[in-house]
Structure 1
Amino acid sequence: MSNSKHPKPDDRSNNVERIRDIIRNTEENLQEAEISMEFADPMQSELIEEKNERRRHSIEGLKEEMKDEIAARKKGKA
């Protein structure tokens, strides 16, 4: 438990950069998984493809979130 009686203020100043890093890492994981599929058996390949589909969906959502953060930054809210 924190010693402070007040919640920490929301610091959004680095959200764009943080989201950009998450997107980059997720894209790298997706590419590495695609390569590993070449050496995987059919069942493993199917699981990898399912996970990559979730990664693609996540990347889309993160890109939208990053757009929102950029817009908020331009309005002076971050």
Structure 2
Amino acid sequence: MAKPDDRSNNPARLQNAIDHTMANLREAEDYLDEHAEEISADDKSSIEAKNQKRKEAINGFIAEKQDEQND
């Protein structure tokens, strides 16, 4: 038997994902600020690309959370 679709915790779950992703973003930015001169250009570029994807994910989570709250 399938579980019922309980979406009541979605806003909290999405907020947790936002918080976690923002923490990772800040940690990576802090790492770049402290060690940019010590890491290779490829590593720096990779971290910057990951941070861009994190920003996009955060925007998506926020939009999804707003949709959930409006339903």
When normalised by structure 2's length, the TM-score is: 0.88
Tell me the matched-pair count.
67
Structure 2 runs not aligned, ≥5 long: none
> Equivalent residue for 2:41?
42
Question: Which one has a larger percent helix, Structure 1 or Structure 2?
Answer: 2
Q: Distance in 2 between matches of 1:37 and 1:22?
A: 23
**Larger Rg: 1 or 2?**
1
When normalised by structure 1's length, the TM-score is: 0.81
Does the alignment pair 1:67 with 2:70? no
Q: Map 1:15-30 to 2 at 5 A.
A: 15-30=10-25
| Contact 1:19–1:66 (Cα < 8 Å) also in 2 | yes
**CA root-mean-square deviation:** 0.9
Q: In structure 1, the residue corresponding to 2:8 is in which secondary structure? A: coil
Structure 1 runs not aligned, ≥5 long: 1-5, 73-78
Q: Distance in 1 between matches of 2:64 and 2:23?
A: 19
Identity of aligned residues (%): 39
Q: Distance in 2 between matches of 1:32 and 1:43?
A: 18
